[in-house]
Amino acid sequence: MTNRRYTAGASRRRYRKEVNRASWLIGICAVIFIVGLLVPGNCTGAQPVAGTDIGPLSAARLEKVVTNPSLDQKIIEYTGMTVSFNPRLHIPNWVAYELTAAETYGEEPRARNFMADPDVDGCATPADYRNTGFDRGHMAPAADMKWDPEAMRESFYMTNIVPQDNGLNRGSWSKLEEKCRQRARRDSAVIIISGPVLTDDIEMYIGDTGVAVPSRFFKVILSPYTTPPTAIGFIMPNGNVRGGMQTCAVSVDEVEAVTGHDFFSALPDDMENEVESQKNFNRWSRMN
């Protein structure tokens, strides 16, 4: 990527995330220290939040996706997310970002307006969705970008948006997004990658731009700093989800097979094989 705006955005993201992570860890350490003073000798509930199992891997490396080679893409580094944008279909192939525990407590208000990114050829416009019956569905939700004004604003760029049925966008997809925020608080951070399934035939296009309407969506979530690391995937139809999000839980391996993407390749091979085979929704959804 040669655009200086995106290079600067990636640098700001790394800096702000390090500040957020440092603040969060300092707060956790302070709580543990105080509890240790109040309850001498009792430290069974204080589990270290550490990446020893994965070594020095950074969030940026864990977010990296090897995109299905049959898809057109332009990689865009925004303040809070990385987007693989498909200029032919006018929607993202995938959107990846790290969500830390500290970031889930951000207070930045939700942006009001969707916008085309003027620096991206093939970007859809908000008007493309007007009177179509489809929601402007975020892949990186605005609620995950409350930690920074620019991250919030950029989450409303149409490069982060895909046509979603109202029943999905405000139903199981929204509930899954909230569950991811809960996991971020529980696990100190999660890596989230979402997007449309573009190996399916596209049967509908909307707007003057000709925005592709996918029939399914995917999401994969990695908790890299737990011991051991864990992951899960989801594939949801672009409509009402019967039985709720748990019926759509699959392994990351299954999402890779359906989409043609390769996720979390920066992990050691044995660890990648283990976490990508997991799909125990009940265990993943528990908060204890």
Catalytic residues, by residue number, are: 138
CA atoms of 161 and 114, how far apart (whole Å): 9
User: Longest Cα pair distance anywhere in the chain, in angstroms?
Assistant: 67
Nearest CA among 63, 115, 124 for reference residue 94: 63
Cα four-point dihedral sign 131, 133, 137, 142: positive
CA atoms of 267 and 47, how far apart (whole Å): 22
Nearest CA among 141, 150, 116, 121 for reference residue 11: 150
Tokens of 194: 């979402």
Q: In what order do the strands lie in the sheet with 91-100?
A: 74-77, 82-86, 91-100, 189-196, 216-223, 230-237, 249-250
